[in-house]
Structure 1
Amino acid sequence: MTSEQKTEEPLPTSMTAIGYTANRPVDAPDALVSQTIPVPQVGPHELLVEVRAVSVNPVDVKQRAHANPDGFRVLGYDGAGVVVAKGESVALFEEGDHVYYAGAIDRPGSNARYQAVDERITGRKPASLSWADAAALPLTTLTAYEALFDKLRLTDASVGTLLIVGAAGGVGSIMIQLAKVLDPRVRVIGTASRPETREWVLSLGADEVVDHAGDLAESVLAAAPDGVDWIFTAASAKPGAISSYVRIAKPFGHIVAIDDPHRLDVVSLKSKALSWHWEFMFARSLHQTADMIEQHRILNRVAELVDEGRVRTTATERLSPINTPNLVAAHRAVESGRAIGKVVISDE
């Protein structure tokens, strides 16, 4: 997966891809496997991208552990690479363009030599970043951006306090930056429990860090005695989480979650008239919504912020090349729950 593809040469008909054939623990010898499969055909609005770098997200781990592989499933929900072919209706990109994207949950992923991806959920790769550093951003950027601006309805005039639970993770790491750059009057409190994660969160621009290892509500209210206006969480399934959020939130506040609790008691939100939101960045592509192109616009906007030096990559661990052992190592790091920022793998 490291040779250069010259656009004047015919594209191959087959390629190497890495995925899973059964739901295995990450340390099983066949947790991820490599196979030779056909190069995908592009639809009218699709790009064929030669993949140069990928990153691993919690969704990769969840899919590998629980989702039906239907024989063989290619994972990978972040990618950066070069457009080598395009569908007949593509209007946003040309062959040779450098792009980055998060793909679609119901399509084969980026852990392959080539990937077909819809142009409307693809952005221009930040010119100032390497392939690896660009691949760290798309999924978490779209999640954070949609949570902040579509769900919490923040604007550049918003005034209040935002709590980010698990701020050292992939989504939290970019959300801190977007909130501080695009909503300068918003106070950002991040949660972290280790010295290295506290340092990381502060380096990204958080105004304060509190410990989430103990009584979360007590820690937050010590920093914000009047409570917070907005809460972002990837940990609503944790025992006692909802009661803590109700204690922390101001009346009429908003909470947005991205995790998958088996049960969720939201009745306790009523006394403060709190609003609960779900953020799922794959919803637009999964349901082919009329506004799918918003993800193209978001990725381009963030690429501008990166190239202006206002937002930086969240990559903290870089592996090379893109192969099965390195993808297993990345899955192991993400599954540990102790990863800071993003783990990326590239052919650089």
Structure 2
Amino acid sequence: MRQIGLILENGFQVMGLSALSAFELANTELGQDAYRMTILSQNGGTVRSTIGVGIETTTLGDMPDTLMVAGIRIPGPLNPELRSYISRAGSEARRVAGVCTGAFVLAEAGLLDGKTATTHWLHARRLQERFPEVRVDEDRIFVQDGNIWTSAGMSAAMDLALALIENDHGAALARNVARRLVVYFRRPGGQSQFSALLELEPRTDRVTRALTYAKEHLRNPLTVEELADAARLSPRQFSRIFREETGQSPAKAVEMLRLEAARAMLEDGRHPMDTVARDAGFADRDRMRRAFVRAYGLPPSSLRRNAAFADAESME
């Protein structure tokens, strides 16, 4: 049985606890207690979240197989005892994981020196400024560098937990756990923290409906007429309202959605370039290449190589 220890501090964010649900459901899928979860804190007793919910914790003791550190809204200096415990985990635990701003805790304990790590994009620059010896990748869902894992914020705790389960028991179990959780099967670690839909920030249901339709039908031509029909507006009305709400033309927004889908497929590394171009709606590789160079300054092949290199480097 593998023990998962999750360290909480006052001011932790409740969503960080979601990772434990994944391990609980892994036990259900396996039909045995493959994981035992313990919630830890420096002094034990009740630890309160940002919304005032209290969680009973156990004092620090024997080192677990996997030590996880939940994020808090405003990371502060570590108590020396807690810093020492987490520092020892780097060599005594099989894995150490920082969820969201938990990366600050790992960095202060010296576990991220010379390593690549991520955190919530809102805090990434501050992490880099406070700990310049850390290679901060602010646009990753999660990062593994040796036995140290870090993740972005909020829902990325679930992606991290699924990745840890896959690391232990394989993709099939992680996929079944994801189904039970009713979440998308683990987003690739290299996937961007940003979403084109969130970046466009539509204000009305009509424009949101058109963008959702576009995301679900990327293989279609997605002309203004097709999108206007999804929004239940005339093409002229749709073009005007769309630009007012998003600041982009419909064609530019569709290209952003196609690029996001293609990039995720490329970073996943399992799809031929022609398949990526077709499924993302670019029609052919050359058109996809031109779009990538415009958006990222690099062709798709370079982004795929960079993702493969980062994954290989994290396994060393």
Fold shared per TM-score above 0.5: no
Higher relative contact order (CA 8 A, sep 6+): 1
Structure whose alpha-carbon radius of gyration is higher: 2
Higher helix share: 2
Q: Normalising to structure 2: TM-score of the pair?
A: 0.29
